[in-house]
Structure 1
Amino acid sequence: MKKTAFAVALIALGTAALAHGGVKNKDVMARMEVMKSIGDQMKIIGSMAKGEADFDAGVANAALTEIAAQSAQIQSLFESRADDPKSEALPAIWKDWTDFAHLASTAEITAEGMIGTISAEADLGPALGTLGGTCKACHSKYRK
């Protein structure tokens, strides 16, 4: 389960990086930039978890802080329905706004609650699994 959530998060992040080219709507671009920022922080934690980067609890917890801060913007960035051919946001967001807002809030609260909890390399996998789960919960319903 943890490996699946981690893999889904990494695939989603790679896809998001390619999607930014040619976006014309500034609101859609702002949403994409927030998601990219969250993805970049997940990559920091992920690279430590895979042994590609040296473990640093301070850096990992700083990444959680940034994920929480960026996640806090999600609801406001999606309040107005903006569209762009490059957007991966599904219309279901605005049809089921209450659920979408709840999932966005859950991502923020989850990341915020994890700040300071990474003290050993063994904490990275569970953190990624938990955070990846919040990403997947929303992306599976509201992202193309």
Structure 2
Amino acid sequence: MPLRLSAALVPLIFAGAAFALPGTQSTDVMKRLRLMTQIRDTSTTLGSMARGETTFDADHAGRLASKLRADVAAIPIHFEFQVIDAGSRARPLIWADWSGFEEAAARTEAAAAALRTDTPEQLGAGIKVLEQSCQNCHRRYRLAD
């Protein structure tokens, strides 16, 4: 898949997170949605830099990648409690298949850890792998829009 097409998927991967907040009652769900929105926004910014849509700055990309790594590492913590409300996109399968969910989160964390930010090309390749990992997890553990 070409980088341009692949990078365009980042907002779609996380679509719905920002829109779900108004129907959300649970603080646990709000925290999860906020985390996923942060991951989406950071990934989108990094993808934009990789594609040359915004100025590439290796130092700024490195700081964003560090933030992304920390946010991605926090995913399982935000799902420890089985809380679903009207604003949640989480499938109950997350908790029924907790070890599978943790493995999927670990793969995403590994993809985030592997991000290199020295060049736009390195960054773009890493974002593509991260997107794929996010998509795989969302297909299995997130309700469709």
With normalisation by structure 2, the TM-score equals 0.89
- The number of equivalent residue pairs is 142
8 Å CA contact 2:104, 2:133 repeated in 1:
yes
State the distance in 2 between where 1:19 and 1:85 align.
8
Q: Which residue of 1 aligns with 2:124?
A: 125
Paired residue type of 1:66 = K
Q: How far 1:2 moved relative to its partner? A: 4.9
8 Å CA contact 2:23, 2:87 repeated in 1:
yes
> Which ranges of structure 2 fall in alignment gaps of 5 or more residues?
none
Sequence identity (%):
34
Deviations 1:17-57 (A, max 9, x none): 22222311000011111111111110111221332210011
8 Å CA contact 1:24, 1:84 repeated in 2:
yes
After superposition, residues 23-42 of structure 1 pair within 5 angstroms as: 23-42=24-43
Q: What do you get for the CA RMSD once the two structures are aligned?
A: 1.6
Q: How far 1:74 moved relative to its partner? A: 1.1
Q: Which residue of 1 aligns with 2:22?
A: 21
User: CA 1:135/1:122 → structure 2, altered by over 3 Å: closer, same or farther?
Assistant: same
User: CA 1:5/1:95 → structure 2, altered by over 3 Å: closer, same or farther?
Assistant: farther
- The worse-fitting range, judged by mean Cα deviation, of 3-12 and 30-39 is 3-12
8 Å CA contact 1:2, 1:125 repeated in 2:
no
Q: Which residue of 1 aligns with 2:13?
A: 12
Q: Secondary structure at the match of 2:114?
A: helix
> Which ranges of structure 1 fall in alignment gaps of 5 or more residues?
none
With normalisation by structure 1, the TM-score equals 0.89
Q: How far 1:15 moved relative to its partner? A: 2.6
After superposition, residues 38-53 of structure 1 pair within 5 angstroms as: 38-53=39-54
Q: How far 1:65 moved relative to its partner? A: 0.9
Q: How far 1:8 moved relative to its partner? A: 2.8
Deviations 1:54-94 (A, max 9, x none): 00111112221111101111111111100111100011111
User: CA 1:48/1:87 → structure 2, altered by over 3 Å: closer, same or farther?
Assistant: same
State the distance in 2 between where 1:2 and 1:84 align.
37
